[in-house]
């Protein structure tokens, strides 16, 4: 083999190696780019899922005192049925988005839902005789504590939206069995 053949074969071999390394690197970078775009979309979905929860928290921050007995109630009960149903819709939307929300936050939201549902049942039984303000006074302390717990939990969640290991560890189907009466 003469010098020209050695140089030519070295050039061909290095070109082939370069092309292979370039293709492998490009393939790896495209996979990384796809994964990053996927994570961006997941984080965006998770942020959107927390918007109704933010509305629930904000709705439960406003309170008033009844002038007759000086007992507090949340303003959502003072806005009439329409205002209360608006609040209840945020609770419902938050629960519907539970796929994207941490378990503890959903638990607090479900407890608020249970209390709200009691008011809905009373309203549907006798819409003319429901006193939402009296109902709000009865559940004021419980809702205030739940609102605080929900806010703390949601704040923790929002700071760790990027941590996908938490989502992977969500409870498996069938763990929490619901019994129907």
* Of the candidates 68, 85, 56, 88, the residue with the CA atom closest to the CA atom of residue 137: 68
CATH number where 81 lies: 1.20.120
When divided into structural domains, the chain yields a total of: 1
pLDDT > 90: percent of the chain: 43
Angle of helix 3-59 relative to helix 103-125, nearest 10 degrees, comes to 40
Task: Give residue 181's pLDDT.
Answer: 37
Looking at per-residue pLDDT, the higher value among 117 and 50 belongs to 50
Residue 86 CB partners (closer than 8 Å, separation 6+): 79
Lowest average pLDDT, out of 9-18, 52-61, 87-96, goes to 9-18
Q: How many residues does the chain have?
A: 181
- The pLDDT value recorded for residue 124 is 61
pLDDT tens digits, one per residue of 61-79 = 999 988 889 899 999 988 8
DSSP 8-class letter at 129: S
The most confident of the ranges 31-45, 50-64, 65-79 is 50-64
Q: Is residue 46 part of a domain?
A: yes
Residue 2 lies in a domain: no
Has residue 135 been placed in a domain? Answer: yes
Measuring CA to CA, how many Å separate 46 from each of 101, 103, 136, 172?
Answer: 7, 13, 31, 19
Q: Write out the H or E segment, with its range, that includes residue 53.
A: helix 3-59
Domain that holds residue 106: 38-168
pTM comes to: 0.74
């Amino acid at each position: 083999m003469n010098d020209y053949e050695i140089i030519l074969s070295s050039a061909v071999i290095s070109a082939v190696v370069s092309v292979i390394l370039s293709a492998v690197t490009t393939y790896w970078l495209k996979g990384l780019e796809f994964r990053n775009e996927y994570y961006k979309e997941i984080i965006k979905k998770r942020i959107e899922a927390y918007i109704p929860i933010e509305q629930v928290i904000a709705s439960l921050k406003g309170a008033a005192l009844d002038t007759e007995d000086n007992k507090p109630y949340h303003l959502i009960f003072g806005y009439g049925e329409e205002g209360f149903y608006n609040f209840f819709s945020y609770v419902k939307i938050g629960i519907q988005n539970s796929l994207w929300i941490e378990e503890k936050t959903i638990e607090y939201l479900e407890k608020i839902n249970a209390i709200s549902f009691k008011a809905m049942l009373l309203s549907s039984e006798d819409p003319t005789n429901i006193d939402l303000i009296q109902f709000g006074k009865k559940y004021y302390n419980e809702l205030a504590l739940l609102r605080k717990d929900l806010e703390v939990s949601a704040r923790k969640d929002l700071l760790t939206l990027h941590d996908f290991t938490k989502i992977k560890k969500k409870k498996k189907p069938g763990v929490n069995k619901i019994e129907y009466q």
